[in-house]
Amino acid sequence: MFNLSDLKTDCRHFRGDIPCKPNKQIGVMCDNCGFYKKTDSNILIIKLGAAGDVIRTTPLLYPLKNQYPNAKIFWLTYTPDLVPVNSVVSADVVLKCNFQNVMYLQEVEFEIVINLDKDREAISLMNNLKAKKKFGYTIKEGLCYPVNEHAEHKYLTGVFDNLSKENNKSYLDEIFEICGHKFNKEKYILELDEHYEGKWDIDSGKKVIGLNTGCGERWTSRLWSDDNWINLIHRLTDKGFEVILLGGAQEDLKNRFYEESTKAKYFGNFPLKTFLNLVNKCELVITQVTMTMHIAIGLKKKLLLINNIFNPGEYELYGNGEIIQPHKECKCYFSPKCINPEYNCMDFLFPEDVFNSAVKLLQ
């Protein structure tokens, strides 16, 4: 007879509301289970979005797992599909940010809570969670504020453009610093699901280059002209590369136009897990600072990163890529729309320069 007192609620596998995986798969129970993994504390990471930022936060799992091997790691986010759960280093509980899960987290006792977002919902929640230690950002007098000195540097570069421009630390250096760790080139953790593999007409006998042609509706100051994209595509296909067009719903019409005007291939826009598999077909990805950039890094693809309005030192390419910028200085630092009345800097990023850098990266 199994008794409630036989439950091992401190096991990493125990769920409480549904059967754990060992019970579901082979029927074992707590009194006869060889899969028992004791946990002694809970850690919560709050990284809600954007999706690319969630991906580039995953290296933080390495020092947390190393320092707290018996901790159960929770992660709250808007994009749960991007948080690793089946890798050697993974989160244990991934929760989509909604009212129900926020209510739940307020009743959990945490050893550590890390909030890396400045959003109002994130800083408000941070203030209402129970934890022995907190890192990152909280709310003070209705505004975002650093929890302690570890977050001061990242916080100040976020409120003063002057300091942001002078900053020589990468995003990963900064978030590791926020948590009291030193970044040692820990890699992104990004999982592929073969069940979402598509049937795409890609010539694998050629080197495949993926062009992510958009940059979202908000940051139009980063847009490159249709003429430049088409010029680049002609150069790449004439050189014998297989060019595929990448993007979401916002880039659909643009990519259909490029496909009609060139020899590039466009297969449509896809759900996230399918899109990951499509990017994985590429050897090189050419993109703006977007989610696709972080997907390419996570999949260890060669990367040619087009940048104009951000500090290039923020990005960690792990020695597997190059940042290319316009010949004329961008005067619209962190501005969604171009505010320079004299010229648009993206007109001075030339297709031949992007082409030459791409060929160099693939040699």
Q: Closest Cα partner for 114 from 169, 19, 27, 179?
A: 179
Contact 354, 361 (CB under 8 A): no
Residue recorded with tokens 């693939």: 362
As given in the structure block, the two tokens for residue 134 are 């907190």
Average pLDDT over residues 27-44: 93
Contact 113, 131 (CB under 8 A): yes
For the chain, give the percent of residues with pLDDT over 90: 94
With a cut of 80, say whether residue 319 has pLDDT above it: yes
Domain boundaries 39-178, CATH class? alpha beta
pLDDT in tens, 57-109: 999 999 999 999 999 999 999 999 999 999 999 999 999 999 999 999 999 99
With a cut of 80, say whether residue 217 has pLDDT above it: no
CA-based angle 265:269:270, to the nearest 5? 120
Fold of 207-362: Rossmann fold (3.40.50)
With a cut of 90, say whether residue 280 has pLDDT above it: yes
CA distance 240 to 206: 7
With a cut of 90, say whether residue 216 has pLDDT above it: no
With a cut of 90, say whether residue 32 has pLDDT above it: no
CA distance 156 to 120: 17
CA distance 343 to 328: 9
Q: According to CATH, where is 3.40.50.2000 located in the chain?
A: 207-362
The pTM of this model reads 0.95
pLDDT in tens, 119-135: 999 999 999 999 999 99
